[in-house]
Structures are given as structure tokens and as C-alpha cells.
Homo-oligomer: A and B are copies of this chain.
Amino acid sequence: MTHLGARLLRVDKGVCEVALPYSDKVTQQQGGFHGGAMGALADIAGGYAALTHCEEGMEVVTVEYKVNFLAAFQQGELVATGRVLKAGKRIIVTSAEVQHVAADGTRRDCAVMQQTLVPVPMTYTAA
């Protein structure tokens, strides 16, 4: 998502905010933010929120997510806020709200997501 211009705004225990600015990389045929981009952004916000509940040496893998789109927006940027609803040993459940933030700061609901993740041992090595 860094490739698409996404940036991390905030990470606290169980909460994460990620922003995605408007660009032609994330829009659909009518010029609004693409649903797939919104889903991906929500997926990331939920995933980072889940990560804050992992023990050292563990990371998270998304099992599934479901996203409902509430409205279409152009310009400005999207802010997705992921929150941990349940942090179990086997399963982590999160939700995310995606809001559109206009140039003048107006915030409006854009999408909502529910997500399931599993904590797994890190498989890659810091060389």
C-alpha cells in the first residue's frame, strides 16, 4: 500500500489509523475511490491493530474480511481506523471504519469492515 501512497497515522494498543490520499492509482471508472482500494486499506488498518496484540516473534495473517461500502467520494483522502474486538490465542477479530476526509476537514462515513486474523510465528528473518 505504500506503493499507493498509504501512510500510518497512529498505532496504539488495539487501534491503528492508516490514510490513503486520492490519486489515479486508487480510483474506479466514475472517478471515486475504488472499492478494492478501500477494502485493502481497511484490511491493513485491522491487521496493524491486531499486530499490537501479538507477542514478540509473532505476526498476523488475514483469514478473511468483509467490507460494506456506504458512499463514494472523490478527492481528499480516506482514513481507516482498525480496532481489535477480540484478541484470542487462536483468532483475532477486528473491525475497521473508513472515513473520507475532505480538503476542508469534513469527515463522512465511507465503508465498514469486519476481519478475522490468526497469530502465526514470524517466518521471515531480519538478515
Cα separation A62 to B28 with both chains bound (whole Å): 11
* Interface-centre pick from A36, A41, A123 (highest chain B CB count, 10 A): A36
Q: Judging by beta carbons under 8 Å apart, are B29 and A3 in contact?
A: no
Q: Judging by beta carbons under 8 Å apart, are B109 and A90 in contact?
A: no
* Interface-centre pick from A43, A44, A71, A123 (highest chain B CB count, 10 A): A43
Whether, in the assembled complex, A127 has its beta carbon less than 8 Å from a beta carbon of chain B, the answer is no
Whether, in the assembled complex, A78 has its beta carbon less than 8 Å from a beta carbon of chain B, the answer is no
Type the 1/0 row for A1-32, where 1 means its CB is closer than 8 Å to any CB of B.
10100000000000000000000110001110
Collect the chain B residues with CB atoms within 8 Å of residue A66's CB.
64-67, 114
Cα separation A68 to B69 with both chains bound (whole Å): 16
- 14 A-B pairs in the complex with CB atoms less than 8 angstroms apart: A1-B36, A35-B65, A36-B40, A39-B40, A63-B63, A64-B68, A64-B69, A64-B116, A66-B66, A68-B93, A86-B109, A90-B118, A95-B112, A114-B114
